[in-house]
Chains A and B, each alone.
Chain A
């Protein structure tokens, strides 16, 4: 009875905190400009099913893909067991589904156990990869500090979860042999049937019951901890990968978005269109310098990023030692959204009034923007269809159109196009090659 009350209180507290965290992320994504994205439902479903659920793009590199798949499938399947933990937790029952499901129950738990072992192996491999092996993409400057700790925290929680599962099941298997009515015989579980006796065979019954409860609580408390931590972690990709692939750009990667406002201005200037009566006045700012001027989808991209660095590892500028890192661009956008979101939560101001004298340019420097070759390698590399290039190009637009800045070397090219119609200032005729 006491444990039921305790469980319900802990569960409610966890859900409450998680709600707060997730609403914060939702609010921050909405800092971006409204942009309707829809249509082409079949293609969008394809992306969700193949890319998010099926992890199609992970398999470009099959070793991490398989290890990642172990953790992913174990995570999904464990949710089945979580259902029972909830029932048992609320009603004080023990393995509620075991009697009714019989052999199928044994199969499901065995399946979870095997996947948990595979996930354990993968987690150890991932910890090694981050902390021992010198994998380039995990050694970049943007991962120093919290991002590195964040990654290790998640992996550590995975291990706790698995320790919880096996203490619970292992102790239970031994207790089942001691003739206690409470511990219903579940049949042989794939791993704990031998792991339980091997670890706890000689432990006395009282202690064993303690270990079983410890495992149960460790498991569920880790799950709650995970849930509460998720909206503050790069690990949020396990949820946002789904909407992010749904809303991903479907047109050719080479296509840049049009700017209808500029188009209209230019057509009026060229006499191709008449200005609307009463129109005119101040031109708006063009391009993006902050989360407010990016699309909400760009901000969703930034929260979907799990900082794996496949984009940066594929970026020709980064490979050749330039400052640009597409992953850092994504992290900067998210960190800026966090900064603005936190300030707005305190001041209760509207986003239109917000001004802290800072912008994305305090985080992403012109040098980084100017290093981009617009090659789309980062876009192609992302396993969850994030588009760093779109943000880089919108910031370049801001730099040129609103700040009238940018590399001086581009000015002769701009002048040549404007004055001679060619990208280089040439004295020859355009068709001189044809003589």
Chain B
């Protein structure tokens, strides 16, 4: 057991500092589950009292809303807000920028008001405050690594620095792609594209993006979103580079580098 549910906290008469919103990818996708467990390990290591909703968590409704299905979004969001408000949740961390965006920006209009942090922001805070200590010479030190800005953390919410601060703390040799930060190129999964094939065209978007990443000749690609990670890995597979070049969530790099 890496994480306790908020119901368990409640039955002990305790209130956790923060709720970890796991999200559908983090709950069910094998690759993203590893990131979920990684984040739990780090939070436990740092002594952060956190809870999960467990089976009481539902999809935030991001893909439904962006596909245009407002009814479904309103339904699932209303149920989540009932749950979150019942437990008196104040602060939420999530490893998914889509969950982050919708909980932060769109739930308030429906009566769900929470303080949101993306896990890259939280990890950065924990390092700055000294609750997490990094190795002097970890395995990423001096490694040539490129960073992919997710649209929903970057342009959608203007978070560009926290993930880069983590890479700095890891002492990597960060090589930016041509299109980065505000001009970053999408991985191709947003707006419910994750659930459908690309429309007819001459290339998949993730191939366009991974080609740009490969131009930086990286030892690894760092990302912050479960969907981006899937898309980038698929791109590397198509280029037959997936054996040589891993795609990491930033939390995985942090865990690897913990003192």
Q: Which A residues contact B (CB, under 8 angstroms)?
A: 60, 251-256, 258-259, 262-263, 265-267, 269-270, 272, 286-287, 314, 316-317, 319-324, 367, 370-377, 379-380, 393, 396-401, 406-407, 409-410, 412-414, 416-418, 421-424, 426, 428-435
Taking A374-B190, A374-B191, A414-B64 as contacts, is the C-beta distance between A272 and B78 under 8 angstroms? yes
B69 at the interface (CB under 8 A from A): yes
Complex formed: what's the CA distance from A412 to B63 in Å?
A: 12
The residue in B26, B71, B189, B197 that gathers the most chain A C-beta atoms within 10 A of its C-beta is B71
CB <8 Å contact, B71 and A434: no
> Which one of A254, A322, A434 lies within 8 Å of B156 (CB-CB)?
A254
Taking A316-B205, A319-B208 as contacts, is the C-beta distance between A417 and B76 under 8 angstroms? yes
Complex formed: what's the CA distance from A320 to B185 in Å?
A: 11
Taking A265-B71, A410-B195 as contacts, is the C-beta distance between A316 and B78 under 8 angstroms? no
CB <8 Å contact, B151 and A374: yes
Residues of A within 8 A of B71 (CB): 262, 265-266, 401
CB distance from A340 to the nearest CB of B (A): 23
Complex formed: what's the CA distance from A380 to B192 in Å?
A: 20
CB <8 Å contact, A430 and B186: no
Taking A286-B70, A320-B202 as contacts, is the C-beta distance between A413 and B64 under 8 angstroms? yes
20 extra A-B contacts, CB within 8 A, seeds A262-B74, A266-B75, A393-B66 = A252-B157, A253-B158, A254-B157, A256-B66, A258-B106, A266-B71, A266-B74, A267-B74, A321-B200, A323-B200, A323-B201, A374-B151, A375-B190, A377-B151, A406-B68, A413-B195, A422-B59, A424-B24, A433-B33, A433-B37
Of the A-B pairs whose beta carbons lie under 8 Å apart in the complex, a sample of 10, sorted by A's number, is A252-B105, A254-B105, A256-B66, A265-B74, A316-B205, A396-B66, A401-B68, A414-B67, A430-B28, A431-B55
B178 at the interface (CB under 8 A from A): no
Complex formed: what's the CA distance from A270 to B64 in Å?
A: 18
CB distance from A382 to the nearest CB of B (A): 12
CB <8 Å contact, B196 and A375: no
Complex formed: what's the CA distance from A287 to B106 in Å?
A: 17
CB <8 Å contact, B205 and A422: no
CB <8 Å contact, B190 and A373: yes
The residue in B66, B82, B189, B199 that gathers the most chain A C-beta atoms within 10 A of its C-beta is B199
CB distance from B101 to the nearest CB of A (A): 4
The residue in A266, A270, A321, A433 that gathers the most chain B C-beta atoms within 10 A of its C-beta is A433
CB distance from A292 to the nearest CB of B (A): 19
> Which one of B52, B66, B188 lies within 8 Å of A431 (CB-CB)?
B52
Residues of A within 8 A of B59 (CB): 416-417, 421-423
Residues of B within 8 A of A430 (CB): 22, 27-28, 54-55, 57
> Which one of A259, A322, A373, A379 lies within 8 Å of B201 (CB-CB)?
A322
B182 at the interface (CB under 8 A from A): yes
CB distance from A428 to the nearest CB of B (A): 7
Minimum CB distance partner of B66 in chain A: A374
CB <8 Å contact, A396 and B67: yes
The stretch that binds A, out of B1-9, B165-173, B243-251, is B1-9
CB <8 Å contact, B192 and A410: yes
Residues of A within 8 A of B68 (CB): 287, 393, 396-401, 406
CB <8 Å contact, B155 and A253: yes
Residues of B within 8 A of A263 (CB): 74, 110
B window 89-108: CB within 8 A of A: 101, 104-106
Complex formed: what's the CA distance from A377 to B209 in Å?
A: 14
Taking A406-B67, A431-B52 as contacts, is the C-beta distance between A380 and B183 under 8 angstroms? yes
> Which one of B27, B40, B54, B186 lies within 8 Å of A375 (CB-CB)?
B186
Complex formed: what's the CA distance from A94 to B101 in Å?
A: 64
CB distance from A228 to the nearest CB of B (A): 38
B65 at the interface (CB under 8 A from A): yes
Taking A421-B76, A433-B33 as contacts, is the C-beta distance between A413 and B201 under 8 angstroms? no
Minimum CB distance partner of A370 in chain B: B199
B window 198-239: CB within 8 A of A: 198-205, 207-209
> Which one of B57, B70, B104, B195 lies within 8 Å of A262 (CB-CB)?
B70
CB distance from A347 to the nearest CB of B (A): 32
Which 7 pairs between the two chains have the least Cβ-Cβ distance?
A254-B156, A374-B191, A321-B202, A396-B68, A321-B201, A400-B68, A375-B186
Residues of A within 8 A of B151 (CB): 373-377
CB <8 Å contact, B195 and A434: no
CB distance from A316 to the nearest CB of B (A): 4
Taking A253-B155, A434-B1 as contacts, is the C-beta distance between A410 and B33 under 8 angstroms? no
Residues of B within 8 A of A267 (CB): 74, 78
B193 at the interface (CB under 8 A from A): yes
Residues of B within 8 A of A60 (CB): 183
CB distance from B178 to the nearest CB of A (A): 12
Taking A377-B185, A414-B72 as contacts, is the C-beta distance between A431 and B5 under 8 angstroms? yes
Complex formed: what's the CA distance from A27 to B124 in Å?
A: 52
Complex formed: what's the CA distance from A319 to B37 in Å?
A: 36
Residues of B within 8 A of A412 (CB): 195
What string of 1s and 0s marks CB contacts (under 8 Å) between B26-44 and chain A? 1110000100110010000
